[in-house]
Amino acid sequence: MASRGRQAEPRRPVPRLYLVTPRDPAGLAHLMAQSLAAADVAAVLLRLPDAGPEQQINHVRALAPAVQDQGVALLLDGHPHLVASAGADGAHLDSVDALKAALAQLKPERIAGCGGLASRHDAMVAGEAGADYVMFGEPSMDGERPSFDAISERIAWWAELFEIPCVGFAGTLDEVEPLAAAGADFIAVGEAVFTDRRGCGAAVAEAAQRLQVAETLA
């Protein structure tokens, strides 16, 4: 309760989910249908198969209606040159340099997000360059991540000082609540839900429930 004569701090909106698809495209349409039916999702980050540009564009176009018709943004993992022709809503770039190189292709109509931020300086440069969001905690290609404490600290620092949204990548469902509590605007989940033995729909529903629990404890 706010003290008398002092205005209460506005409550931060409940963070929303950001799904990161598996690298294997097999059965992806079915997985997306299950996931998007299970809970509110803000965005889907689509990892494209190793194929030629025409095949990649067709892959995006085949999946896009199932995502975008639900009011969910569809972002490509890299490949900013394919965003417009494939009908995606934007791209996620894995470094500040990649972000800067992609801005002319994406802005102002489409979303440009940035991850692969190894330092506070990198994050600030990405924000100043025009990133629509920054992401902390995503694994590298070899699966390595910073320590969870380091990820939480970076999110808390960003949330306190900057208005640009921040995405916290949860490696497990148990990381969802503390990343939300640290101040993330969006919580990204990938393998944590798509490899869940109960099915991705049940896992996504649990992730959403954990976000609500984190909000009640804030």
Give tens-digit pLDDT for 73-124: 999 999 999 999 999 999 999 999 999 999 999 999 999 999 999 999 999 9
Which DSSP category does 40 fall into?
-
User: Could you state, in order of their start, the residue ranges of all structural domains in the chain?
Assistant: 16-217
pTM of the entire predicted model: 0.92
Which DSSP category does 191 fall into?
H
| Cα distance between residue 50 and residue 160, in whole Å | 39
For the residues 56-75, what does the mean pLDDT come to?
96
134-155 core/surface letters (b: 16 or more CB in 10 A; e: else):
bbbbbeeeeeeebebeebbebb
Residue 1, pLDDT > 60, answer: no
**Structure confidence at residue 216 (pLDDT):** 63
pLDDT tens digits, one per residue of 150-168: 999 999 999 999 999 999 9
| Cα distance between residue 78 and residue 59, in whole Å | 15
The verdict on whether omega for the bond into residue 108 sits within 30 degrees of 0, i.e. cis, is: yes
H/E run at residue 93: strand 90-93
Contact predicate 105/111, CB 8 Å:
no
pLDDT tens digits, one per residue of 190-199: 999 999 999 9
Q: Per CATH, which fold does 16-217 belong to?
A: TIM Barrel (3.20.20)
Per cent of the chain over pLDDT 70 is 93
